[in-house]
Amino acid sequence: MNRNPIGVFDSGVGGLTCLEELRKLLPNEDIVYLGDTARVPYGTKSRETIACYARQDIAFLEKFDVKMILIACGTVSSVLMTENLFDGSRTELYSGVIYPAVKSAYAQTKNRRIGVIGTPATIRSGCYGRALRELCPDIKVVGKACPLFVPLVENGYTNVDNKVTRLVAEEYLDVMKKENVDTLIMGCTHYPLLKDIFADILGDRVSLISPGAEAARFAAKELMKRDLLNDREGEGSCKLFCTDSEELFSENVTAFLGNEVTAEISKCTL
Amino acid sequence: MNRNPIGVFDSGVGGLTCLEELRKLLPNEDIVYLGDTARVPYGTKSRETIACYARQDIAFLEKFDVKMILIACGTVSSVLMTENLFDGSRTELYSGVIYPAVKSAYAQTKNRRIGVIGTPATIRSGCYGRALRELCPDIKVVGKACPLFVPLVENGYTNVDNKVTRLVAEEYLDVMKKENVDTLIMGCTHYPLLKDIFADILGDRVSLISPGAEAARFAAKELMKRDLLNDREGEGSCKLFCTDSEELFSENVTAFLGNEVTAEISKCTL
């Protein structure tokens, strides 16, 4: 048993999809969430800059004596595979979104043809391909950078009938149809908000994997396995931190999730 | 006469449209350009955060003993109107893009109905409206935030036939048609790359104002008026600085301007 909080971070509000899943699975855990909104997005930046920002995010969460850090950012999770972000850190338990997503995708694919969509940094890193081929060397992985999906989601272009998003999604997903993938990893926390459009374009026989939700399930299992769950009764606390203003964070969350923020929000400096 | 360099900055590569105009007008001036690519974009961030970043950008350029600072970023130029970014700075001569653009728009409008498009931060600031009404109290100003234009331009969706950009532009510019504006200020350095699409949607009778180019012309005139031009013969030097990696900057410039970078690029820390 361990009553310390769980730390979760992302470049902005996208990781809240992962946080929501975590709170559903482990309602009595305390959670500290950090969104680096003053420097968002990470996905269009270089590997070195992303690694530098991620180390500062981790250092911030460690001040809360977190028992686990969950990297709810697809871009940072990709960089984690090549740079050891936790070198010198005192967090023993951490997870990005790659491994949980890859495990789930591999369990679901029948034809061993898996698609991965993500930010330019995630796709450039090739991390999903490497992780999938470690599980199964003859798997076919089709990667496609989709840089317009994040701004589309952040501007509320998420409705299944939205013509702009549909046009962009058809262009991006064309290669997935041509390559006949039967499983698609939505490798950025923003993408699950477009899943109805993806399903419409790709058809029902393609399984859609949400790495944020998979990571939350993975974290819950790991904490249980290591006997690190919080044994306290009652609902856990949730603290949200952002690096730009609280008002802007609150507005962005409402635009992103469609509902008001109920947790406490504080601005912090990294 | 003054042989010190001119400083230009922007949140990223967008300000290069202003820099190009400045080099055309004043080919023998030395120029130092800073693009804060590690924290781009500014336009979706809060006023306080933008002001904080802009002060760091200015402090960096002042190390080069610049004789003038040109703020080639529509977002920072807007914030400049409410926060005095140059308080405590030793730069005597500086300009944002607002005043030059407003002067030109006012000279061109016939029906006194002027449209302004920009980032959310620029439109939220209301700076163009205030500046225009100072020139002429009964002018009608129609503002519209266009958050998707920057990512569209940065991803090369600039061709006049691009269906996605056209769809988005039709949505954003609808209010300009309804309000019968005859002059449109393209209040973000990225937007001039979409001017053919704007002209197609709005028709030839609407004048399009490019604040970056206007600011470059304004700077040239001010330097001339104050006898601060460089009297040296031969081509001036151009140094580019960025806060994320040089490779990424170079790639982004090529995607943005369609041509290779010929000037020296260095990474810097603010």
Q: Whole-angstrom Cα distance, residue A229 to residue B37?
A: 41
pLDDT tens digits for range B193-245:
999 999 999 999 999 999 999 999 999 999 999 999 999 889 999 999 999 99
B154 reaches A (C-beta below 8 A): yes
Cis peptide upstream of residue A41 (ω within 30 degrees of 0): yes
> Which of A36, A45, A146 to mutate against chain B (most B CBs within 10 Å)?
A45
Overall fold of domain B6-96+213-267: Rossmann fold (3.40.50)
Beta-ladder partners of B115: B142, B184
pLDDT tens digits for range A57-71:
999 999 999 999 999
Domain range summary for chain B, segments of one domain joined by +: 6-96+213-267, 98-211
Kindly state the average pLDDT of the residues A172-186.
98
User: Is B98-211 in the same CATH topology as B6-96+213-267?
Assistant: yes
B248 reaches A (C-beta below 8 A): yes
Domain A98-211: assigned CATH number? 3.40.50.1860
For residue B163, which residues of chain A lie inside 8 Å, CB to CB?
167
A268 reaches B (C-beta below 8 A): no
Quote the pLDDT of residue B258: 76
C-alpha distance from A215 to closest chain B C-alpha (Å) = 27
DSSP labels, A67-133: SEEEE--HHHHHHHTTS-TTTT-----EE-SHHHHHHHHHHH-SSSEEEEEE-HHHHHHTHHHHHHH
C-alpha distance from A209 to closest chain B C-alpha (Å) = 26
Kindly state the average pLDDT of the residues B91-115.
95
Active-site annotation holder among A18, A127, A146, A188: A188
Q: pLDDT band for position B91 (50/70/90)?
A: confident
Q: pTM of the predicted model, to two decimals?
A: 0.92
Q: What's the residue count for chain A?
A: 270
Torsion angle defined by CA atoms of residues A193, A195, A200 and A202, in that order, rounded to the nearest 10 degrees: 140
H-helix or E-strand spanning residue A208: strand A207-209
C-alpha distance from A243 to closest chain B C-alpha (Å) = 9
Task: Mark whether A268 is an active-site residue.
Answer: no
Asked whether the beta carbons of residue A46 and residue B247 sit closer than 8 angstroms, the reply is yes
Selecting from B48, B147, B244 the residue whose C-beta is nearest the C-beta of A245 gives B48
Asked whether the beta carbons of residue A244 and residue B39 sit closer than 8 angstroms, the reply is no
For residue B174, which residues of chain A lie inside 8 Å, CB to CB?
none
Q: Whole-angstrom Cα distance, residue A11 to residue A21?
A: 18
